[in-house]
Amino acid sequence: MRSADIIESIYRTTNAAREELRFLIENRDEESTQLLCGLARKRAVEHYGNKIFVRALIEMTNYCRNDCLYCGIRKSNKNAQRYRLTKEDIMECCSEGYSLGFRTFVLQGGEDMYYTDDIMTDIVASIRAEYPDCAITLSLGEKPRESYQRLFDAGANRYLLRHETADPEHYGMLHPAELSLANRMECLRDLKEIGYQVGAGMMVGSPYQTVGNIVTDLLFIKDFAPHMVGMGPFIPHHDTPFAHEKTGSAELTLFLLALVRLMNPKVLLPATTALGTVKGNGREMGVLAGCNVVMPNISPMSVRRKYMLYDNKLNADTETEAAYESVKSSMKAIGYEVVCDRGDYKK
Ligand code: SAM
């Protein structure tokens, strides 16, 4: 096997066998990385041109009923200062985001039972009524199918729910016993059947992750065919059981992003904040490896430091407009243009 042959075959067919993916990852070097990233970039440009879609991220609550071992807002973290945004706060963020040019709002948060279906559908319906030209993305964790349906009917279009790892045993090492991969997968299927544009994904370098796990993730993504893939490095948070684990590699993350692009040519692929946190020009490098989305944070400054999933999060103290301007100019510097567009999945 030669890496170059495998990469060119994935570029042509969008398919790869388990052993080919394993070989590529285990034998990656400068040369194969350059080839892979170059082709991934070419594929992204073929479908999306040099346009970068932006999503305005609103971190609406850091209360969470779950206890994921990697996450800084897990319920056992007694040092987290908890907050939740009111509907008025959220509408205010949307208004600021809209004037800056955002046409997608992403409401993300822990699994906070304060936001009942009635409260959440009211928030979604209000955004939908005020911004009919915008996409509404939710990232609020696992819910019963009926709740997903009500939110969709109220006007939500997309849902981000990373599968985290497609290996049930590995899933068990990252989560408490009451959470299961089977339920996560059922949620993903429900979301897709209801009609959401769905995002799956995982952290790169999460504790106990093996190359075999990563290959399983890539094959799951290919098979499930999500519209979006959220994939960034794992970064430890000092108040979690994984405080002393290693940070995921930016280099491996970039390699995997490029593979995801080649295997799923039209997928909406964000260059994540986590990638920008572990590597100075991480988000630009992400775009050069086939990413076509960036998600600047537009949460109120007063809560930014409280939504700490991991340590040293990028732009925790940068004002919304300044951070957005910096995204625009850094994309321009590498030949890309941030566009004022909903940025839907291309059928
Ligand atoms: N509660 C929702 C859920 O479970 O999907 C959304 C919020 S959750 C905090 C969003 C994502 O943050 C997770 O899917 C996870 O992959 C990522 N995340 C959490 N802790 C992280 C860490 N320490 N390093 C990198 N990413 C992390």
Task: Name 13's Cβ contacts closer than 8 Å, sequence gap at least 6.
Answer: none
Q: What is the pTM of this model?
A: 0.98
Does the CB atom of residue 184 touch ligand 1 within 6 A? no
In this prediction, residue 346 carries a pLDDT of 85
CA of 35 to the centre of ligand 1 (A): 31
* Strand arrangement of the beta sheet that strand 158-160 belongs to: 56-61, 104-109, 135-139, 158-160, 197-204, 228-233
pLDDT at 316: 87
Whether 70 is in the pocket of ligand 1, judged by its Cβ within 6 Å, is: yes
pLDDT score at 347:
81
Torsion of CA 215, 220, 222, 226, to 10 degrees: -130
Ligand 1 centroid distance, CA of 71 (Å): 6
Contact 242 CB / ligand 1 (< 6 Å): no
Is ligand 1 within 6 A of the CB of residue 309?
yes
Nearest atom in ligand 1 to 64's CA:
1
Q: Whose CA is nearest to atom 4 of ligand 1?
A: 141
Domain ranges of the chain: 40-339
Is the shortest distance between the CB of 115 and ligand 1 below 6 Å? no
How many Å apart are CA 207 and CA 37, to the nearest integer? 26
Cα 218–256–340 angle (5° rounding)?
Answer: 100
Judge contact between 104 and 141, C-beta under 8 A. no
Taking only the tens of pLDDT, the chain with its 347 residues reads 899 999 999 999 999 999 999 999 999 999 999 999 999 999 999 999 999 999 999 999 999 999 999 999 999 999 999 999 999 999 999 999 999 999 999 999 999 999 999 999 999 999 999 999 999 999 999 999 999 999 999 999 999 999 999 999 999 999 999 999 999 999 999 999 999 999 999 999 999 999 999 999 999 999 999 999 999 999 999 999 999 999 999 999 999 999 999 999 999 999 999 999 999 999 999 999 999 999 999 999 999 999 999 999 988 899 999 999 999 999 999 999 999 999 999 88
User: Coil, strand, or helix at residue 158?
Assistant: strand
* Ligand 1 centroid, distance to 73 Cα (angstroms): 9
Residue owning the nearest CA to atom 13 of ligand 1: 162
What CATH code is assigned to 40-339? Answer: 3.20.20.70
